[in-house]
């Protein structure tokens, strides 16, 4: 099942670190840091697609093949979020077979997400978990004593 629109924290499968941007506001690189940003999912222009917003900017591919993802104030693009088993998803650009890819490593401003061909089977570097912000908060409050 695809995630419904709303606010999320998105975590990379490699190391369970969250998606964020550097710098904090657009235009910015989409990176893996040690603290989460709110990632908003909105329905896209075509069925089963989404517009993805991080820190007030829409996630878009760079202008050249293999370039890093950017959060910008430009018009959004359509993304397909596909279930990949368990709580994990791949995020594919609608107009291609390219998917978000995490290079791995230490969570910092240099760990920039980029597009690469979607693997079969999907490698861990292309798996992301979408944790709904309100449900994540409820889970934390329900486990406290």
C-alpha dihedral sign at 136, 119, 56, 18: positive
How far is the first Cα of the chain from the last one, in angstroms, to the nearest whole number?
A: 32
Taking Cα atoms as reference points, which of 32, 11, 39, 15 lies closest to residue 108?
Answer: 32
Query: Tens of pLDDT along the chain (145 residues)?
Result: 899 999 999 999 999 999 999 999 999 999 999 999 999 999 999 999 999 999 999 999 988 777 899 999 999 999 999 999 999 999 999 989 999 999 999 999 999 999 999 999 999 999 999 999 986 655 555 554 4
Residue appearing with tokens 């390219």: 98
Please state, in angstroms and rounded to a whole number, the distance separating the CA atoms of residues 53 and 93. 14
What pTM did the predictor assign? 0.91
Residue appearing with tokens 């990949």: 84
Please state, in angstroms and rounded to a whole number, the distance separating the CA atoms of residues 77 and 90. 16
Residue ranges and CATH numbers for the domains of the chain are: 6-143 (2.80.10.50)
């Amino acid at each position: 099942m695809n995630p419904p629109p709303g606010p999320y924290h998105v975590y990379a499968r490699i190391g369970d670190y969250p998606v964020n941007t550097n710098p904090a506001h657009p235009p910015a690189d989409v990176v893996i840091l040690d603290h989460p940003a709110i990632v908003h999912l909105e329905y896209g222009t075509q069925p089963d697609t989404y517009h993805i917003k991080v820190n007030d900017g829409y996630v878009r591919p760079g202008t050249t093949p293999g370039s890093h993802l950017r959060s910008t104030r430009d018009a959004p693009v359509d993304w397909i979020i596909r279930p990949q088993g368990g709580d994990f998803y791949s995020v594919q650009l609608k107009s291609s077979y390219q998917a978000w890819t995490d290079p791995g490593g230490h969570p910092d401003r240099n760990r920039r997400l980029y597009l690469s061909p979607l693997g079969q089977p999907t490698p861990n570097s292309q798996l992301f978990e979408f944790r709904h912000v309100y449900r994540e908060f409820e889970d934390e409050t329900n486990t406290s004593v």
